[in-house]
Amino acid sequence: MSLEKKVRVRFAPSPTGGLHLGGVRTALFNYLFAKHHDGDFILRIEDTDQTRFVAGAEAYINECLAWCGIAPDESPEKPGAVGPYRQSERKPSYRQYAEQLIQSGHAYYAFDTAEELDEQRKLQPNFRYSHENRMSLRNSLSLDEAEVSKLLAEGHPHTIRIKMPEEGTVSFEDMIRERVVFETKLIDDKVLLKADGMPTYHLAVVVDDKAMEISHVFRGEEWLPSAPVHILLWEYLGWKQEMPQWAHLPLILKPDGNGKLSKRDGDRLGFPVYAMNWTDPTSGDTTVGFREKGFLPEAFVNMLAMLGWNDGTEEEFFTLNQLIEKFSVDRISKAGAKFDFEKAKWFNREWIQRTPNEELVPKIAALLVEKGIQAAVEKINTLLALVKDRMTFIADFWEHASYFFQAPESLDSAAVKPKWTAEKTTFFEKIITVFEAQDEWAASNIETLFKDKIAQSGLKVGELMLPLRIMLVGGKFGPDVFVIAETLGKEQVVQRIKNGLRIIQD
Ligand code: GLU
């Protein structure tokens, strides 16, 4: 891999909808490579296909990158010297290159209408516009010069297509796949400039990578079949010396390894595939994203980095800065990476456990505000210490700590009713009085009082701990019951025991 030029990489999404985790991984690998080499990470919006354009998708992409902490150095929002950064705004710049290719004999005008091509497709299901049939179609290679000039002068709609060589191969060194070879005769004559004057992806990507001085291209493996077309364009346009180095990233596979992970797999198997919630502007349907599912951006980024990369050790836990430091193309695998949601959750759990409480507190405060609760930082801190180790997601805080904010809605009285006795009622009535008289309200005092009283009653500790827990939290869960009692405060504890006694005896 040569690094003579300044490293400049680009993430070039099409604004067509929610951002798939594979897309974010492409952005991340570009970013890591750039930052590892003190280079630039550029965001370019590839919106030349106006039929697939979706309002809001570009803003969504910006927000995803910001959420992941991988901010572009140059983008439509933050233009550098080589803008515009949206292809639609670069429209006037492309035709000259398509015309240049016609002049040099590497491209041609095609006058076939959409209907004519549809007709061909009906006749031949595997129809491809290529060296095999181009001479029987309506283009500047098959028609005579006078007719072509006439059609052009009359302004007949036309596209410009690349003329793929009938013979020969295109080969290149992929940074991940090493030597890759394609036979050009197997590739169709791709449209470069559409009838509306917009370039297709193939022309735009080459012209823009050149204009933006891109040094390395990291993109998904699904673009590998397009690489020979791009390489020929670099060559035909006379830019071969400046061509970027290519790296086609391994696919992210379905959990069972059978094919590429799609949004539908997420819907089917119940996990997110998009980075953040995406609401389709036409249908209004919302697809849940990793962010809203409760992933910390640090965990999401860490998990993505491990889909197809490792640092050569068993280590799996990395901060973004560590990833920048350790990232190396040599350690990107060729094989597809299976997506495992349980593993993704493991990353989030690990990140929650390792994140200092003061960073989690604001996130939990926000969760509580959603529930209509304003909680003091001190209280959240105390509760976090009790339930953090049970949390995989921030939202789990509520499941494990809601009873500290509101009395349980229902009690699992069935767990204690069958063995309930009058002695137990008497015991709890007495303990209420004992607690009410107690000033020092710490777990250890509460425990001593509770156990002393049991000793006097002739009952067993084991018989009374569970009822106490159920009265305080509603069920058989939670941390140490005396710590819960301390945290709830005396008044709440007394009130909940009174309430519990009523329900159990009902
Ligand atoms: N616009 C393409 C996409 O949506 C970019 C492919 C490339 O990086 O060349 O993924």
Question: Which pLDDT belongs to residue 115?
Answer: 94
Does 136 have pLDDT greater than 80?
Answer: yes
What spacing in Å lies between the alpha carbon of 12 and ligand 1's midpoint?
A: 5
Question: Which atom of ligand 1 lies at the shortest distance from residue 13's CA?
Answer: 4
DSSP character string of 30-78: HHHHHHHTT-EEEE-B----GGG--TTHHHHHHHHHHHHT---SB-SSS
Mean per-residue pLDDT, 310-336? 97
Lowest mean pLDDT among 102-106, 235-239, 349-353, 405-409: 405-409
Pocket test for ligand 1, best of 60, 219, 224, 234 (most atoms within 8 A of CB): 219
Does 458 have pLDDT greater than 60?
Answer: yes
| Cβ of 219 below 6 Å from ligand 1 | yes
User: Cα–Cα distance between 26 and 252 in angstroms, integer?
Assistant: 11
Residue nearest to atom 3 of ligand 1 (CA): 13
Question: Which atom of ligand 1 lies at the shortest distance from residue 11's CA?
Answer: 8
Tens of pLDDT, residues 420-441: 999 999 999 999 999 999 999 9
Strands 178-183 and 169-174: antiparallel
Question: Which pLDDT belongs to residue 1?
Answer: 53
Share of the chain above pLDDT 90, in %: 96
Question: Which pLDDT belongs to residue 487?
Answer: 96
The alpha helices in 276-394, defined as continuous H runs, are 290-293, 297-305, 320-326, 341-354, 357-370, 377-387
What spacing in Å lies between the alpha carbon of 71 and ligand 1's midpoint?
A: 18
Share of the chain above pLDDT 70, in %: 99
User: Residue 474: helix, strand or coil by DSSP?
Assistant: coil
CA R_g for the chain: 32
| Cβ of 405 below 6 Å from ligand 1 | no
| Cβ of 287 below 6 Å from ligand 1 | no
Does 303 have pLDDT greater than 70?
Answer: yes
What spacing in Å lies between the alpha carbon of 232 and ligand 1's midpoint?
A: 18
Question: Which pLDDT belongs to residue 3?
Answer: 58
- DSSP tag of 26: H
Question: Which pLDDT belongs to residue 268?
Answer: 93
Q: Do the Cβ atoms of 189 and 263 come closer than 8 Å? A: no
Tens of pLDDT, residues 250-280: 999 999 999 999 999 999 999 999 999 999 9
DSSP character string of 130-174: STTTGGGSSBTTTS-HHHHHHHHHTT---EEEE---SS-EEEEEE
- DSSP tag of 5: S
Tens of pLDDT, residues 356-390: 999 999 999 999 999 999 999 999 999 999 999 99
Question: Which atom of ligand 1 lies at the shortest distance from residue 46's CA?
Answer: 1
The alpha helices in 212-262, defined as continuous H runs, are 227-236
DSSP character string of 388-399: GGG-SSTTHHHH
| Cβ of 13 below 6 Å from ligand 1 | yes
Active site residue 263: yes
Does 216 have pLDDT greater than 90?
Answer: yes
| Cβ of 40 below 6 Å from ligand 1 | no
Does 4 have pLDDT greater than 80?
Answer: no
Mean per-residue pLDDT, 334-350? 97
Mean per-residue pLDDT, 44-71? 94
Question: Which pLDDT belongs to residue 50?
Answer: 83
| Cβ of 43 below 6 Å from ligand 1 | no
Tens of pLDDT, residues 139-188: 999 999 999 999 999 999 999 999 999 999 999 999 999 999 999 999 99
Tens of pLDDT, residues 476-492: 999 999 999 999 999 99
User: Cα–Cα distance between 74 and 80 in angstroms, integer?
Assistant: 5
Across the chain, mean pLDDT equals 96
User: Cα–Cα distance between 77 and 470 in angstroms, integer?
Assistant: 55
| Cβ of 441 below 6 Å from ligand 1 | no
- DSSP tag of 333: -
| Cβ of 14 below 6 Å from ligand 1 | yes
Question: Which pLDDT belongs to residue 125?
Answer: 87
Mean per-residue pLDDT, 59-81? 98
Question: Which atom of ligand 1 lies at the shortest distance from residue 219's CA?
Answer: 8
Residue nearest to atom 10 of ligand 1 (CA): 13
| Cβ of 223 below 6 Å from ligand 1 | yes
pLDDT confidence tier of residue 324, bands split at 50, 70 and 90: very high
Predicted TM-score of the model (pTM):
0.90
Does 119 have pLDDT greater than 60?
Answer: yes
List 263, 343, 379, 490, catalytic entry? 263
Pocket test for ligand 1, best of 16, 46, 86, 202 (most atoms within 8 A of CB): 46
Question: Which pLDDT belongs to residue 219?
Answer: 98
**Amino acid (1-letter code) at residue 52:** R
